[in-house]
Amino acid sequence: MINIPLELNELLKKTSRSFFLTLNAVPAKIRPHLSIAYLLARAADTIADTDALAEAQKLAYLERLQTMVRTRPDDHKIPTDFCHDLIADLTKLSSKPANISQAEYQLLLKFDDVLNILFLFERPDQELIGQVLSVIISGQISDIKKFNRKNSKAPSALESLRELDEYTYKVAGCVGEFWTQLCLKHLFKLSQDQTQQMLNYGISYGKALQLINVLRDLKTDLKNGRCYIPVELLSQVKLQPQDLMNPGSEPLFKPVFYQLLSRAAKDLITAYDYVAMIPPRFIQLRLATLWPAMIGIKTLKKLHVSKILDHSVHVKISRSSLWRSIILSFFIWPFPKLLKRQVQSFICSIN
């Protein structure tokens, strides 16, 4: 089994926040795979989000990275010019770009080490990790091209629900799929029909979590010129993306917001079907899989009663609430249907 060096494990802890708890709970057989995939995805996300690189530079680095994670070097060594070039471009104006945290910057400095570990995995595992990273990076590339200018007065928006669905898949649905593939390859087996069902559940679960993030981060994204609420939905209530900058638009926007809350909740229901498919002997895996869903439903409930377009209001789950959910999970993990009913009740309260 591949071991993650202590230095990279510390970076994982600093950059992954609550996800680090999940990583520590999953079985050791798949922990290195998830850890390396996370570090590489986080590094790619840092490249996509930094203001220290021009859009053309971001696209060039992400495309290079996308190629590298899908190509296994014969000598298990990656070209060192990627990290060298990236750091040189990032530090042209400052020794450390202002909008990159110290932990993220250290991760970029250790980029070659992380990639080299990727190529130590057996070929099928490396291909699985490379595949999910390629999808995630393709989403980041699409995002940069779609939102290619920052204008808080007129944010760019997704056009359709289909585009929103593709976005949530590329950010998190593919991660649910990847997580499932790892479990089925290294931990337990299911029939062909059950395998496809679990993969579908994993994708829906991931997409639900990202849609919840979209709704939670709506106001922040609008300030950055991004609107993930499709024009297709806004036009039904005679709104345009820039109207969401005005709190006075809330009465018109609320039905659209609630429609997406309901959509997220319906996809989140699959999380509990997903957990039920994990053999009961994998208690820690069930727990780790439950936690995001439990936080997700708490977030949905807070969003339901929040001031949707008040830019001074930010929905956040407190650390104490997070720990209460984790403690509760130790008592209810054998009964995921109890939580499923809670989500169904929430959907009824919206509709």
Q: Which residues lie across from 226 on neighbouring strands?
A: 156
* Tens digit of pLDDT at every position of the chain (351 positions): 788 999 999 999 999 877 888 999 999 999 999 999 999 999 999 999 998 899 999 999 999 999 999 877 655 455 668 888 999 998 886 666 767 889 999 999 999 999 999 999 999 999 999 999 999 999 999 999 999 765 456 899 999 999 999 999 999 999 999 999 999 999 999 999 999 999 999 999 999 999 999 999 999 999 999 999 999 999 999 999 999 999 999 999 999 999 999 999 999 999 999 999 999 999 999 999 999 999 999 999 999 999 999 988 889 888 898 889 889 888 888 887 777 887 888 788 776
For residue 85 the two structure tokens come to: 């070039």
User: Domains of the chain (ranges plus CATH)?
Assistant: 1-146 (1.10.600.10), 152-351 (1.10.600.10)
Alpha carbons 240 and 198: distance in angstroms, whole number: 38
Contacts of 287 (CB under 8 A, 6+ apart): 25, 326, 329, 330, 333
Give the pLDDT score at 173: 98
Question: Cα separations (Å) of 229 from 19, 153, 219?
Answer: 26, 16, 11
